[in-house]
Amino acid sequence: MMPDENFASSFAARWIEGPGKVSGGGGDGGGFGYWQPRTQHLPQQQQQEGSPAIPPYTDFDRSYFRAYSDIAIHKEMIQDRVRTETYLAAIMKYRHLIFDKVVLDVGCGTGILAIFCAAAGAKRVYAVDASEIAELARHVVEDNNLSDRVTVLFGRVEDVSINEKVDIIISEWMGYMLLHENMLPSIIFSRDKWLKPGGLILPSHASLFMAPVTYADRYHERIGFWRDVHGIKMSAMLQLAKHSSHREPHIEIIPRENVVTRPILVKDVDCYTVTIQELESVTTRFCVTSTLRAPLHGFAFWFDAAFGGPAVYPSEQHLQLPLMGPVDKISRVLCHKKQEMGSDEEIMLSTAPGKPPTHWKQTMLYLYDPMTLNKGQKIAGCVTVSQSKENRRFLDIRLEFSVGGRTRVKVAEMR
Ligand SMILES: C[S@@+](CC[C@H](N)C(=O)[O-])C[C@H]1O[C@@H](n2cnc3c(N)ncnc32)[C@H](O)[C@@H]1O
């Protein structure tokens, strides 16, 4: 395992095991004193007439939320400057829409985005999280004297009760290769239940991309060990090593120069209109041309998230609006962010190869055996990304493609 994969793998490992196998309550709990994560069984709401259908609360969901009660994942996310500062820039850009309005933060974690929105002048923010980190988020809100404007609700957004419509929904829901974790249906649920007509969703759009990659160093690094072990030929292990290493996708940085074609758009998501059903399985055909003569080692996936405005865009009165006072330091950061960017600049969180790295890195699917690619050669095929039948937060990937008359099928599960 590469050192840079440790975090991703250990996070996933906490919730992939499924019912009954995850030990403890997540986090070590030691030293917190007042906060010990518990394995709570939150009540599941009955569906009300006219409301979107409430999905069942499965044991897989419990494992998933328990993983988010660990502090390490929240630190990793907040320390991802590209991620956190892009949200901050978006909040600044739309401050005129947030000011004096009601915001819903779906999956608030530590409360950071909810607090940014309060600092930008939101009248009320509902910060919802089904992980026990929500209990700490409540303390964070209190410590920043924001309890009168930020209400932390511990529970699934599908189960909590909010007795008013909201003007803005903000959420950081994107998983590896965008759809892993399958959190987007919770944003769709919130949109359909609470968002006012003409309301704002941040981010507003997202796109999943894929591209063929050459990466000899990494490919051989994983399996090359078996060629010579203390002078003993162990090539007999190679097939097994390839299967074990390349069966599942790897989360790693792919240098831009290793991408051998233009990106292939796998799925475009418009958060204002996307449906839960269309996320169950996504299929895209492609035909791209190699810009290099190089061995093809696999395919990389990544996503962009765009922070566009609502369909009807009110005039920009935001430059005169004051920032709210109680969290002075945050207000100063927000002011600084405002100065850094022009208000017309499009705000985009890109996790593409060659862009400043994020904690999502790229998701790389290695072939068991490389294929020779010539410059100008076509790579044509079809990719399907679907929710796993076993656990809808996992992804099944099926990639069928041809190069120069040779066809390959690569199947992988992202757990
Ligand atoms: C990627 S983290 C983002 C946390 C925080 N918003 C931030 O930006 O640092 C996603 C959070 O959403 C929560 N979450 C996911 N699905 C949820 C749901 N249906 N209801 C409530 N919380 C949810 C998870 O527990 C997790 O804390």
Q: In the predicted model, what is the mean pLDDT of the chain? A: 87
Give the burial string for 150-160 (b: 16+ CB within 10 Å, else e): bbbbbbbbbbb
Query: Count of CB atoms within 10 A of residue 201's CB?
Result: 24
Tell me what pLDDT residue 221 has: 87
Interval between CA 11 and ligand 1 midpoint (Å) = 14
Ligand 1 near 186 CB (within 6 A): yes
> Does 2.70.160.11 match the CATH number of domain 208-304+356-414?
yes
Kindly state the helix (H) or strand (E) to which residue 239 belongs, with its residue range: helix 238-246
Residues in the chain: 415
Interval between CA 170 and ligand 1 midpoint (Å) = 11
Query: What pTM was computed for the model?
Result: 0.87
* Per-residue pLDDT reduced to its tens digit, 44-65: 676 677 789 999 999 999 999 9
The C-alpha atoms of residue 7 and residue 282 are separated, in whole angstroms, by 27
Architecture of domain 10-27+35-172+313-345: 3-Layer(aba) Sandwich (3.40)
pLDDT at 6 over 50: no
* Per-residue pLDDT reduced to its tens digit, 84-107: 999 999 999 999 999 999 999 999
Q: Which tokens belong to 241?
A: 């090593």
Interval between CA 105 and ligand 1 midpoint (Å) = 9
Q: Which tokens belong to 395?
A: 């992804």
Atom of ligand 1 nearest to the CA of 114: 6
Name the burial class of residue 41, with classes exposed (0-12), middle (13-18) and buried (19+) by CB atoms within 10 angstroms of its CB: exposed
The residues spanned by each domain of the chain are: 10-27+35-172+313-345, 208-304+356-414
